[in-house]
C-alpha cells in the first residue's frame, strides 16, 4: 500500500517537467527549417525515396541542387512537371532511375542544342567540282601529247569465248558443233558477235551468225539489238534481233532473243545454263535451249509454235581458268508442227547424243 502511494506521487512530479520539455523549440517534431544547419539540407539522401508523386510540382527551381543521389528513385511521376529549370543541376546520379514518365515535360530549356543538317555554308565548294576546274587536257597537271590517264570505263575491252567446240555422237554418225562469241567495247556498250553451227562430213550443215550491239541496263543485265543471218537448211534467211541476256537470281545465265524475219516470220530463242562447282576445278554445267516460230515455213523446216527443245549437261575439268576439256550428254526433241514436218521426211523426232570437247577463252 505504501509502495503504490510512492509511485503515484512520482508520476505527478514528472508530468509538469515533460510538458515543459515538449514545448522546447528543438524537441520532437517541433524542429523548424531555420534551426537545421544548411549543410544538412544540401547533402540530403533521396536514394531510397520511392513512390513519391511529383506530378503537380510546378515552378520549382532546381538550379542549385547539387550532390543529390537519385540513383534508386523509382515509380516517380514527373509527367506534368512544367517550368522547371534543370540547366544548372550538377552531380545528380540518374543512372538507375526507372519507371519515370517524362512524356509531358514541357517548357524545358535545351539551351544551345543544335541538330545536324541544314544548309551548306555559302563558301562551300561545289561537290561536283572535284578537280577545282582543272581537266586532264588543260591546267598545271596536263601531260604533253595524247591524254595518258584514263578511267576504267574509258578503256576498250575485248574477248573471245569458245563455249562449245565438240564432237557429237548420235549413234548413226557424228558431227562437229561450235558455239562461240566475241566482243569488243567498254563497260556499258560493246559490239558482240555470236556464231554457232554444225559440220557433218567436213561440210557446213547449218549455221547462224549474229552481230549485236549490247548495252548494259543494270549490273547484271544487257540489252542486245542487231541482225542475224542463217544458212544451211533451205534458203538463207535474215532476221532483225532484239534480246536481253544476263545473270538471273541464283546465278542462272539467261539469254532470250526475239527475231523478225522475211515475209513476216517471227521467232523466239531461249537459253539457260548453270555452273555447279563440284570442286574448284570440276564443274557441272546443265544447259537447256527452246525455240519457237510464229508461222509455218516448210521450206526451212520451221513449224508454228514450239519447235525444238534441247537439254543436257556437261562435266568439265579446268586445267586452267581459260581451258577445260569436257564430256556430256544431251537430249533433243522436235515439237509441234516442226515434229510433223520431221516425221513426213521419215526422220526421228527425238535424239540422244554423247558429246566430248573443249571450252576455252582468251
pLDDT at 193: 98
pLDDT at 155: 85
Q: Is residue 110 situated within a structural domain?
A: no
Low-confidence ranges of the chain (pLDDT < 50): 1-3, 5, 9, 13-14, 16-84, 86-92, 95-97, 99
Q: How many domains does the chain have?
A: 1
Are 63 and 84 spatial neighbours (Cβ–Cβ below 8 Å)? no
pLDDT at 110: 55
The whole-angstrom separation of Cα 271 and Cα 210 is: 15
Q: Is residue 180 situated within a structural domain?
A: yes
Q: Is residue 146 situated within a structural domain?
A: no
The whole-angstrom separation of Cα 215 and Cα 221 is: 9
Is pTM beyond 0.75 here? no
**Mean pLDDT for the chain?**
78
Q: Is residue 122 situated within a structural domain?
A: no
Q: Is residue 262 situated within a structural domain?
A: yes
Q: Assign residue 206 the CATH number of its domain.
A: 2.40.160.40
Q: Under 8 Å CB-to-CB from 111, ≥6 apart: which residues?
A: 87
Angle at 187 between CA 183 and CA 188, to 5 degrees: 95
Domain limits at 243? 157-361
Q: Is residue 75 situated within a structural domain?
A: no
pLDDT at 317: 98
132: left (phi over 0), alpha (psi -120 to 50) or beta: left
Q: Is residue 355 situated within a structural domain?
A: yes
Amino acid at each position: 500500500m505504501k509502495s503504490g502511494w510512492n509511485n503515484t506521487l512520482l508520476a505527478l512530479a514528472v508530468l509538469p517537467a515533460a510538458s515543459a520539455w515538449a514545448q522546447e523549440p528543438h524537441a520532437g517534431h517541433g524542429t523548424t527549417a531555420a534551426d537545421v544547419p544548411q549543410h544538412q539540407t544540401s547533402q540530403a539522401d533521396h536514394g531510397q525515396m520511392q513512390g513519391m508523386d511529383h506530378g503537380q510540382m510546378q515552378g520549382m527551381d532546381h538550379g542549385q541542387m547539387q550532390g543529390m543521389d537519385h540513383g534508386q528513385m523509382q515509380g516517380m511521376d514527373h509527367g506534368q512537371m512544367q517550368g522547371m529549370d534543370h540547366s544548372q543541376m550538377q552531380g545528380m546520379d540518374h543512372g538507375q532511375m526507372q519507371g519515370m514518365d517524362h512524356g509531358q515535360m514541357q517548357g524545358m530549356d535545351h539551351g544551345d542544342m543544335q541538330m545536324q543538317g541544314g544548309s551548306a555554308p555559302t563558301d562551300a565548294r561545289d561537290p561536283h567540282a572535284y578537280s577545282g576546274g582543272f581537266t586532264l587536257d588543260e591546267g598545271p597537271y596536263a601531260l604533253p601529247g595524247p591524254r595518258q590517264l584514263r578511267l576504267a570505263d574509258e578503256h576498250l575491252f575485248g574477248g573471245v569465248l569458245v563455249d562449245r567446240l565438240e564432237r557429237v555422237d548420235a549413234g548413226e554418225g557424228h558431227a562437229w558443233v561450235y558455239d562461240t562469241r566475241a566482243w569488243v567495247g567498254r563497260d556499258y556498250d560493246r559490239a558482240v558477235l555470236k556464231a554457232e553451227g554444225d559440220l557433218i562430213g567436213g561440210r557446213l550443215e547449218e549455221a547462224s551468225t549474229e552481230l549485236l550491239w549490247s548495252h548494259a541496263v543494270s549490273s547484271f543485265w544487257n540489252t542486245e539489238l542487231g541482225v542475224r543471218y542463217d544458212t544451211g537448211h533451205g534458203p538463207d534467211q535474215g532476221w532483225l534481233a532484239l534480246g536481253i541476256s544476263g545473270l538471273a537470281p541464283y546465278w542462272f545465265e539467261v539469254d532470250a532473243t526475239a527475231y523478225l524475219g522475211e515475209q513476216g516470220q517471227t521467232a523466239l530463242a531461249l537459253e539457260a545454263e548453270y555452273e555447279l562447282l563440284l570442286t574448284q576445278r570440276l564443274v557441272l554445267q546443265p544447259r537447256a535451249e527452246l525455240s519457237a516460230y510464229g508461222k509455218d515455213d516448210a521450206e526451212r523446216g520451221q513449224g508454228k509454235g514450239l519447235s525444238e527443245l534441247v537439254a543436257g549437261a556437261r562435266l568439265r575439268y579446268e586445267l586452267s581458268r581459260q581451258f577445260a576439256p569436257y564430256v556430256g550428254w544431251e537430249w533433243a526433241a522436235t515439237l509441234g508442227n516442226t515434229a510433223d514436218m520431221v516425221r513426213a521426211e521419215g526422220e526421228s523426232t527425238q535424239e540422244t547424243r554423247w558429246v566430248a570437247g573443249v571450252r576455252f577463252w582468251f
